[in-house]
A and B are shown apart, each in its own frame.
Chain A
Amino acid sequence: MSPIGTATQPLRVAIVGAGPAGFYAAERLFKETELVIEVDMFDRLPTPYGLVRNGVAPDHQKIKSVTAVFDRVAGNPRFRFLGNIELGRDVTVDDLKEYYHEILFSTGAQTDRPLGIPGDDLAGSYPATEFVAWYNGHPDYRECEFDLSQERVAVVGVGNVAVDVARILCRTREELMKTDIADYALEALSNSQVKEVYILGRRGPAQAAFTAPEVKELGELADCDTFVLPEEAELDSLSLAAMANADRADVRKVEIIQELSHRQPSGKSKRLILRFLVSPTELIGDEHGHVRQMKLVHNELYATEAGSLRPRATDRTETLDVGMVFRSIGYRGVPLPGVPFHESWGVIPNNGGRVIDITTKEPLLGEYTAGWIKRGPTGVIGTNKPDAAETVENMLEDARAGRTLEPSHPTAEAVTSMLDERQCRPVSFDDWKRLDEFELNRGKAEGRPRVKFTRIEDMLAALRS
């Protein structure tokens, strides 16, 4: 066998999942100078960028410019994007092993964590994941329906996703018009009856997972007054003590929350109320099985042995009238067929990105992981860069040591014919750039940054035109 990683036999790598983790991994692989490396990047959607396209809020356009970094990676002649090809549907892990020396799974976290309380499944109770994917025009979620005729809404969880959901619900049509929100969502939200939105945190202001700029923005909405209850903005003694060690960003976050607790209503048409130290215990429905109320218990904090402050229920309870509930308590990875999976954490078990067997803990030859499916659904886009770099270091170390798969058809052409035989028509990066151009032009016509295609058929039809 000829050495791998040379011009005659490049190291062939499959990356499954074209989100930030996949792109940062490819970027790092191409920085390697000693080995010749070819990357095929698969995604189940015809469009690349993962949550940068389908998660990041439409009113946060600037952050999406990170795609320019990803486009540079895609411009490498040894890179191919194979969009609209799903692992598990179109190809299996065993298939990939016939074509690649190394396989990297960077499929992100596709689903939500349930609340696990009675009434969670009532009509009008939705996972934030679906709402986010819907307003961003993810083809799998465009048909979702949200009952925006309700006036009062609760969003459970105080992470940045909860903030996104609440903010989108409270934006005006004029504000949303300037974004690339899916056009059906723009229409639905323009006719929304939502007047009051609660964001519910189970711990105090100091433990809120959202970041300072995000909560500050909630206080600057065009037609929505944002409040915090003064008694809930105060820090308890344990939190106060912990603040002595807090970094600047957390201090600022608490200051912003306390500032919001001094606000007076200014007569705007919507209200956003940030609540702390409360946990939902039950959703109560009406005779049609539609959520009408949420039972809350007030919490107090206690310190664990290792020093974190956790919520503990008190005997104080409260009932909130709400007609719609979004649970935003974190994303969750889904298992990939043929790949080990850690059920309780929703990740692929790994050691520094090397996929390991769940029982023996031994690494599986040629299989790697990066991003949210590796470490869990946490961190901003950039966090996936060091994460992917760690994995790629291990991939390179293994490749140099000859610890790779031994594919029978290690060429790009062989992959093309395999997909051809299965009548899979991958969307290339050039195809995507054409779609991108179409979307930008459609946006220009409407004075918006872009108007997205939200159906796979429409994307494919546009490419044929």
Chain B
Amino acid sequence: MKVRNILATKKGHLITIDAEQPVRKAIAMLVDNRIGALLVMDSTGKLAGILSERDIMRTAATDEALFDRPVTDIMTREVVVGMPQDDVIAVAHTMLEKRFRHLPIMDEGQLIGIISIGDVLKIQRDAYRGEVDTLETRIIAKGEE
């Protein structure tokens, strides 16, 4: 199972914010779109970082003036990026080990989507459910193979 199998059933609509926009706007976008992270773009339209709920929480704990600061101040700059041909199982381990929940996906230099740990969990759960179902069928079946 590859990352592209996750992307295939998602809208693929990239929700991005400009690095200079205030955190206030970012929070509104997260809430409106019911998502956990935004892709942050620099003035040339390149991926500059990622802003997650966690980044906001971490800053909010010490900085009450957070709302007016530009996103660029608090975003995560070192973004791990995936590819559509990455194996889901490997991506799952990387996300768990490196403790991040969102992975932007690039294909031939183009940003094409973002997957969350929830997406990874869901496709794995469905694969296991399917395997169990199919195994049961095979075990219950009469006759020889």
Q: A-side interface residues toward B, CB under 8 Å? A: 59-63, 65-66, 69, 178, 207, 242, 245, 304-310, 342, 345, 347, 349-353, 356, 361, 374-376, 378-387, 390, 449
Contact = CB atoms under 8 A, between A and B. Distances in A.
Contacts of B134: 63, 66, 380-383
A353 B103 CA distance: 22
B45 interface: no
Contact of A345 (B4, B80, B90, B131): B4
B8 A245 contact: no
B99 interface: no
B90 A242 contact: yes
Contact of A379 (B80, B87, B127): B127
Task: Choose among B4, B8, B133, B137 the residue with the greatest number of A CB atoms under 10 Å from its CB.
Answer: B8
Given A62-B145, A374-B8, A308 B87 contact: yes
A374 B125 CA distance: 17
Task: Choose among B86, B87, B94 the residue with the greatest number of A CB atoms under 10 Å from its CB.
Answer: B87
Task: Choose among A207, A242, A306 the residue with the greatest number of B CB atoms under 10 Å from its CB.
Answer: A306
Contact of A305 (B2, B8, B82, B130): B82
A308 B90 contact: yes
A434 B83 CA distance: 49
B129 A385 contact: yes
A342 B141 contact: no
Contact of A66 (B94, B127, B137): B137
Given A61-B145, A306-B80, A310-B85, 11 more contacts: A61-B144, A62-B144, A63-B137, A66-B134, A306-B3, A349-B12, A351-B10, A356-B11, A361-B13, A382-B137, A386-B126
B60 to A, nearest CB: 29
B93 interface: yes
State the 9 A-B residue pairs at the shortest beta-carbon distance, nearest first.
A383-B130, A382-B133, A307-B94, A382-B130, A308-B90, A382-B134, A65-B141, A306-B82, A386-B126
B104 to A, nearest CB: 10
B8 A308 contact: no
Nearest to B123: A375
Contacts of A378: 1-2, 5
Nearest to A363: B11
Interface string B2-38: 1111011111110000000000000000000000000
Contacts of B66: none
A345 B91 contact: no
Given A307-B93, A387-B126, A65 B142 contact: yes
A173 to B, nearest CB: 17
A391 to B, nearest CB: 9
B143 interface: yes
B132 interface: yes
A378 B130 CA distance: 11
Contacts of A62: 137-138, 141, 143-145
A299 B20 CA distance: 44
19 contacts: A60-B145, A61-B143, A245-B93, A304-B90, A308-B85, A309-B90, A310-B85, A345-B4, A345-B8, A374-B9, A381-B130, A381-B137, A382-B130, A382-B131, A385-B133, A386-B125, A386-B129, A387-B126, A449-B143
A206 to B, nearest CB: 10
A144 B102 CA distance: 47
A69 B120 CA distance: 29
Given A65-B141, A245-B93, A387-B126, A376 B8 contact: yes
Nearest to A387: B126
Nearest to A309: B90
Contacts of B143: 61-62, 65, 449
Contacts of A352: 9-10
A383 B129 CA distance: 7
A242 to B, nearest CB: 7
A380 B13 contact: no
Contact of B82 (A66, A69, A304, A376): A304
B130 A342 contact: no
A386 B130 contact: yes
B81 interface: yes
Contact of A382 (B80, B90, B129, B142): B129
B5 A376 contact: yes
B37 to A, nearest CB: 15
A207 B129 CA distance: 21
Contacts of A305: 80-82
Interface in B108-124: none
Nearest to B129: A386
A178 B143 CA distance: 12
